[in-house]
Amino acid sequence: MLRFALTRIVMAIPTLLIVAVSVFVLIRLIPGDPASLMLGDLATPASLADLRARLGLDQSLPVQFAIWFGNLLKGDLGISISSQQPILPLIVSRFWVSAQIVLVAVLLASLVAVPAGLIAAWKQDSALDIGLVALATLLLSIPTFWLGLLLLLFFGLKLGWLPVVGYVAIGDDPWRGLVYLVMPIMTLFLHEIGVLLRMARASTLEVLRLDYITHARAKGLSEMAVLWRHAFKNAFGPTWTLIGLVLGNLLGGIAVVETVFTIPGLGRLLVDSIFARDYPVIQGCMLFIAFTYVLVNLVIDLCYPLFDPRVTAQ
């Protein structure tokens, strides 16, 4: 178990390193002097010279990367051009806004989709199964930004139950904060049900075909016991992996939902920075999201043996 965990953790390091190199190179692809890009319109000859020295621009590219990477390890992602704030605290505060939405939505979606997928596979080709798959495929096909608009139109404008736009931090006012989060969470929840249900059903079908399930049934176990003890535990693996991928993908793609509901999250920060050509923030957001993605998948992998001991044996 420990060996498995250590191997996985060590394996993530080169990935993180190359991700850092890619982000560093990406911004250097922009034609022009990196220092003047980083300072934007506020550049003065003195501040330019100062930043050039700090970034080591008179030295070779590997040295520049080493300086940048050293700062990165210290948590120094530089200063935002548009707000003149240090970037890391800015990103972290925005990250929590996005993370609460994504986490709650994916948790709720898993709680609904996994049992539903299990039942659909159990009752394969029944009306219930066909209905569930059709619904899942439909939900999967509706882009989140349109689903969000539809919810807004219906619950916000037509029924007037929920506020249309805005955001209140849940720490400032728990009740109002929650009210503003209902629709964004519902949007992602509905979409991810579609994704996860299909996966849970597919992997359960694979397992239900195997001989040991027939054996379990033949020895007279109740269907409940067969499904829960024998099918579910072995079928959950692929869905669990997908949950990790979904979490990361949502973090990368949440900008559209945050735009629909005007929520000041990480996705919106990235998009606004692209509009403002705030390159240090773009760089920081990309690094932060990609790192989080790799780490989430690492944690997912590390949890794998908890329900499937076969993994550590390999």
Q: Report how far residue 216's alpha carbon sits from residue 268's, in angstroms, rounded to the nearest whole number.
A: 51
Q: Residues with Cβ < 8 Å from 97, sequence gap 6 or more?
A: 167, 169, 263, 264, 265, 266
Pick the piece of the chain touching another protein (CB under 8 A) from 58-66, 85-93, 149-157, 222-230.
149-157
| By the rule CB under 8 A, 149 interacts with another protein | yes
Q: Which of 160, 165, 155 is nearest to 186 (CA)?
A: 155
Residues in 31-90 at the binding interface with another protein, rule: CB under 8 A: none
Sole binder of another protein in the list 237, 252, 264, 305 (CB under 8 A): 252
Q: What is the DSSP letter of 79?
A: B
Shortest Cβ 186–another protein spacing (Å) = 16
Considering only 25-33, 76-84, 97-105, 210-218, which stretch makes contact with another protein by CB under 8 A?
25-33
**CA–CA distance, 125 with 282 (Å, rounded to integer):** 48
Q: For another protein, which residue of 9, 49, 63, 153 counts as binding (CB under 8 A)?
A: 153
Conformational region of residue 278, where left means phi above 0, alpha means psi within -120 to 50, and beta covers everything else: beta
Q: Which of residues 114-143 bind another protein (CB under 8 A)?
A: 121, 124-125, 129, 133, 137-138, 140-143
As given in the structure block, the two tokens for residue 162 are 């929920």
Q: Is the dihedral of CA 292, 295, 301, 307 positive or negative?
A: negative
Residues of this chain, 265-284, that bind another protein according to CB under 8 A: 270-271, 273-275, 277, 279, 282
Q: How wide is the angle at C-alpha 203 spanned by C-alphas 201 and 207, nearest 5°? A: 110
Q: How far is the CB of 173 from another protein (least distance, A)?
A: 26
Note the residues at the interface with another protein (CB under 8 A): 14-15, 18-19, 21-23, 26-27, 29-30, 121, 124-125, 129, 133, 137-138, 140-143, 145-146, 149-150, 152-153, 157, 198-199, 201-202, 205-206, 209, 245, 248-253, 255-256, 259-260, 270-271, 273-275, 277, 279, 282, 286, 289-290, 293-294
